[in-house]
């Protein structure tokens, strides 16, 4: 079983979107026994809250259900518990590396490193933008999750 954690700032936009997309692809692909996913934020100020309503709306329009997800803060034990901790942007990556015990740093990566054919290296924060930003985040999450699951389901 591979365990993957998606990480953004508050765990209400980008990382829960990636988690929801991954859960959907894992279920429809029959990968439940191989891959487990979760999400967290580098900050805990939204802990316990559902994803942003705009994220939920855009995701639902494409058949993804984000409603069961609740924000939580990245914890020290997560570096040990998960096989991959995927940052949505370089700021998250830098913060995670600073807080990660050296022995686990190899597990910390940028999420879009797994997105084949995507020019972007980071998933932009849609929080202060319009609805198109949430659509773009969902596009990137679909591409990133697709590449990630292909790699995890077929290592080598």
Q: Among all residues, which ones are annotated catalytic?
A: 8, 14, 125
Per the document, the length of the chain is 156
Collapsing DSSP to helix, strand or coil, 82 comes out as: coil
Q: What angle do CA 83, 40, 29 make, to 5 degrees?
A: 60
Which is it for the CA torsion 72, 38, 55, 87, positive or negative? positive
End-to-end CA distance of the chain: 16
What backbone phi and psi angles, to 5 degrees, belong to 120?
Answer: -70, 145
């Amino acid at each position: 079983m591979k365990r993957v954690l998606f990480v953004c700032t508050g765990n209400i936009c980008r990382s829960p979107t990636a988690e929801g997309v991954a859960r959907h692809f894992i279920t429809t692909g029959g990968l439940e026994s191989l891959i487990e996913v979760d999400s967290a934020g580098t900050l805990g100020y939204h802990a316990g809250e559902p994803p942003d309503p705009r994220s939920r709306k855009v995701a639902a329009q494409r058949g993804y259900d984000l409603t069961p997800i609740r924000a939580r803060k990245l914890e020290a034990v997560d570096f040990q518990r998960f096989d991959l901790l995927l940052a949505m942007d370089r700021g998250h990556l830098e913060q995670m590396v600073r807080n990660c015990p050296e022995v686990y740093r190899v597990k910390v990566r940028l999420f879009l490193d797994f997105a084949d054919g995507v020019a972007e290296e980071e998933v932009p924060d849609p929080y202060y933008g319009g609805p198109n930003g949430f659509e773009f985040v969902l596009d990137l999450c679909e591409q990133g999750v697709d590449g990630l699951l292909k790699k995890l389901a077929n290592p080598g």
